[in-house]
Chains A and B, each alone.
Chain A
Amino acid sequence: MSDAPAVVPKIRIRGLCKAFGDKVVLDGIDLDVAPRTSMVVIGGSGTGKSVLLKCVLGLLEPDAGSIEIDGRDVLRMERGEAEAVRARIGMLFQNGALFDSLPVWENVAFGLLAQHKVERHEARGRAEEVLAQVGLGPSVGDLWPAELSGGMQKRVALARAIAYQPDTLFFDEPTTGLDPIMGAVIDNLIVDCVKRLGSTAVAITHDMASARRIGDRAAMINKGRIVWEGPATALMDSGNEVVDQFTHGRHEGPIQMELRR
Chain B
Amino acid sequence: MSKLLDLAAMIGRAVFGAFRLTGHIFLFGLEGMSHLVRPPVYGRQFLRAFLDIGYYSLPVVALTAIFTGMVLALQSATGLSRFNAESAVANLVVISITRELGPVLAALMVAGRVGAAMAAELGTMRVTDQIDALSTLSTNPMKYLVAPRLLGGLLALPLLVVVADILGVLGGFVIASVKLGYNAEVYLTNTVNFVQTDDVVSGLVKAAVFGFLVTLMGCYHGYNSRGGAQGVGTATTYAVVSASVLILAFDYMITELFFAR
Query: A residues touching B (Cβ–Cβ < 8 Å)?
Result: 54, 57-59, 83, 86-87, 89-91, 93-95, 97-101, 110-111, 114-115, 160
Q: How far is the CB of B129 from chain A (nearest CB, A)?
A: 4
Q: Which of B101-146 contact A (CB under 8 A)?
A: 121, 124-125, 128-130, 132-139
Q: How far is the CB of A252 from chain B (nearest CB, A)?
A: 33
Q: How far is the CB of A117 from chain B (nearest CB, A)?
A: 9
A33 to B47, CA, bound (A): 44
Instruction: Assess the A95–B128 pair: CB atoms within 8 A.
Output: yes
A89 to B133, CA, bound (A): 11
Q: What residues of B have a CB within 8 angstroms of the CB of A59 in the complex? A: 132, 135-136
Considering the complex of A and B, which 10 residue pairs feature the smallest CB-CB distances, nearest first?
A97-B129, A97-B133, A91-B136, A111-B137, A87-B138, A114-B139, A93-B129, A115-B138, A97-B130, A114-B138
Q: Which residue of A lies closest to B121 (CB)?
A: A101
Given A95-B128, A97-B128: A83 in contact with B133 (beta carbons within 8 A): no
Q: What residues of A have a CB within 8 angstroms of the CB of B133 in the complex? A: 91, 93, 97-99
Instruction: Assess the A93–B139 pair: CB atoms within 8 A.
Output: no
Q: What residues of B have a CB within 8 angstroms of the CB of A100 in the complex? A: 124, 130
A259 to B64, CA, bound (A): 55
Main secondary structure of the interface of B (DSSP, over half): helix
Instruction: Assess the A114–B137 pair: CB atoms within 8 A.
Output: yes
Of the residues A54, A98, A99, A111, contact of B138 by C-beta under 8 Å: A111
Query: B residues touching A (Cβ–Cβ < 8 Å)?
Result: 121, 124-125, 128-130, 132-139
Q: How far is the CB of B169 from chain A (nearest CB, A)?
A: 37
Instruction: Name the residue among B124, B130, B139 with the largest chain A CB count within 10 angstroms.
Output: B130
Q: What residues of A have a CB within 8 angstroms of the CB of B134 in the complex? A: 99
Of the residues A94, A95, A110, contact of B137 by C-beta under 8 Å: A110
Q: What residues of B have a CB within 8 angstroms of the CB of A57 in the complex? A: 132, 135-136
Q: Which residue of A lies closest to B132 (CB)?
A: A59
Q: Which residue of A lies closest to B129 (CB)?
A: A97
Q: What residues of A have a CB within 8 angstroms of the CB of B121 in the complex? A: 101
Instruction: Assess the B136–A89 pair: CB atoms within 8 A.
Output: yes
Instruction: Assess the A93–B132 pair: CB atoms within 8 A.
Output: yes
Q: How far is the CB of A11 from chain B (nearest CB, A)?
A: 15
A51 to B135, CA, bound (A): 15
A17 to B125, CA, bound (A): 27
Instruction: Assess the A90–B136 pair: CB atoms within 8 A.
Output: yes
Q: What residues of B have a CB within 8 angstroms of the CB of A110 in the complex? A: 137, 139
Q: How far is the CB of B51 from chain A (nearest CB, A)?
A: 13
Instruction: Assess the B137–A54 pair: CB atoms within 8 A.
Output: no
Q: What residues of A have a CB within 8 angstroms of the CB of B129 in the complex? A: 93-95, 97
Q: What residues of B have a CB within 8 angstroms of the CB of A83 in the complex? A: 138
A234 to B13, CA, bound (A): 54
Q: What residues of A have a CB within 8 angstroms of the CB of B130 in the complex? A: 97-100
Instruction: Name the residue among B121, B132, B138, B139 with the largest chain A CB count within 10 angstroms.
Output: B138
